[in-house]
Amino acid sequence: KQWYQRRVAITAGTDFMPKRHMNSIFTSDCSTDEIYTIIKELQNGKASDIPINIIKKVSPIICPILELNFNYLMKQGIFPDKLKIGKISPIYKKEKSTDCDSALIPL
């Protein structure tokens, strides 16, 4: 009966867990194979600063480097500003519209 007297009351089912960080995400480390597969699936001829066929040819060299850098940045909680930038090019829909906003499709 002594163990019963020493028991600590838990008011909620999560009292024993560490505090949550609401502004964080969980990511698992990426692997060289995962990066290589993503590069392999890129479509040739798509717009890029570096031609996709060149990236594919050097992928065995750059994948291990990308893996180390990406995993390090994610562990440090750093997301580079360059990766936050998206290039949006508006294109016109086929049907004519008087409303400018509904006549464009963001890509």
Count CA atoms closer than 13 A to 46's CA, side-chain side: 10
3-state DSSP helix/strand/coil % of the chain, to nearest 5: 40, 5, 50
Give the per-residue pLDDT at 56: 94
Distance CA 104, CA 107 (A): 10
Query: Looking at the DSSP assignment, which residues form a beta bridge with residue 105?
Result: 91
| Mean pLDDT in residue range 46-73 | 90
- 105 in Cβ contact with 90 (< 8 Å): yes
Q: At what angle do helices 32-40 and 52-76 cross, to 10 degrees?
A: 140
Distance CA 36, CA 58 (A): 10
More confident residue, 82 or 39: 39
| Mean pLDDT in residue range 6-28 | 62
